[in-house]
Structure 1
Amino acid sequence: MNIKKFALASLAVAGLIFLGCKAGQSYGENEIGLRKSTLFNEDAKIERIDYSGKAAGESELIERAFENAPPMISHNVEDMLPITKENNSCTSCHLPGVAEAVAATPMPKSHFYNFRDNVDMKENMDETRFNCVICHATQVSATPLVENKFTPDFRKENGNIKSNLLDVINEGVN
């Protein structure tokens, strides 16, 4: 009796899988990727994006995509790479003590806080924050690959340009 039920259930599942695969819209190999060409051709042309940008202080900032999103890098970073613990050009302008004097965006308090050990590092940047380009992307003017209908909802008036991550990280946690 159990074998009959198992066989019937297996047949039903197989039928649903078969019908599910056939009922949905299918896509060809030229429609799956963002390149709009076959995925099997590595020589396919991709739109070339120029990441060089303008020099620091010359470009217009793009607002944050959502509350506490890492801001985009608004200037050329080619001469600043690679970023290492020993060689980080970003900090020469973006450390809070320097940023105002050079009209740069200061690094937020969250970069001076060790979340693993729950320690305020005061004026010392957390050593896990040295590689800026892991979170901060260089802004470019490129044609979007897909339409974006997302509309951010900022809780504070200046949330589109300022982070308050350290203030809200434990919000609602007891």
Structure 2
Amino acid sequence: MSKTFKVTLAAIAAITLVACASTAVQVNSLRGKSVSTADDNALQVKEYVGKRPGQTPLIVRNFEAQPPLIPHTIENYEISATENACWDCHNSDDFKGKKMPMVGKSHLIGPVVADVTPKLNMQRWQCDTCHVPQVDAQPLVDNVFQGNISRQ
């Protein structure tokens, strides 16, 4: 390489570096605050609306075909393919003398027959995928959604 080529290459690199540095912009979050502000705290842990099953009324659905919401905590409930605390209680309309909703027929294999414990379709064992417990929290953003609760 010739000396002139090396000098030209170095000059181009220096000009590029200066041009890039002069156009650098401070990064901000979408909220307009600096990313590293001290008041950007983590959200507080919220308590579930219902502590124990059977003590909280069912939560009204907001739209047709909405999966029912869980009106109690599911903390410490085992939900796996081999152990399902939801199924232990919701496999009939009457568990230990208490009324509670039975698992939907779409979640079962075969017809529901009186005096026979229904069988859970194992493609539906992970209840908390669609059914979620609720916490008493204010919305994070404004929401004007009005549910269609006329069909309940």
TM-score higher than 0.5: yes
Other structure's SS at 1:90 match = helix
Question: Deviation at 1:46?
Answer: 2.3
**Map of 2:31 onto structure 1:** 31
**Any gaps of 5 or more consecutive residues in structure 1?**
1-27, 113-119, 159-174
Say if 1:155 and 1:141 are closer, same or farther in 2 by CA, change over 3 A. Answer: closer
> Looking at CA atoms only, which structure, 1 or 2, has the larger radius of gyration?
2
2:107 — aligned with what? 111
Structure 2 unaligned spans of 5+? 1-27, 112-117
Structure in which a larger fraction of residues adopt helix = 1
Aligned pair 1:54/2:32, yes or no? no
Structure 2 counterparts to residues 22-101 of structure 1, below 5 A: 28-31=28-31, 38=35, 44-52=40-48, 53-81=50-78, 83-99=79-95, 101=97
Equivalent position of 1:152 in the other structure: 147
State the 1:154 CA deviation. 4.6
Aligned 8 A contact 1:92 1:98 in 2 = no
> Structure 1 length as normaliser, TM-score?
0.56
Match for 2:103: what amino acid? Answer: M
Q: Please report the RMSD computed on the Cα atoms of aligned residues, expressed in angstroms.
A: 2.8
Kindly tell me the number of residue pairs found equivalent between the two proteins: 117
Identity of aligned residues (%): 31
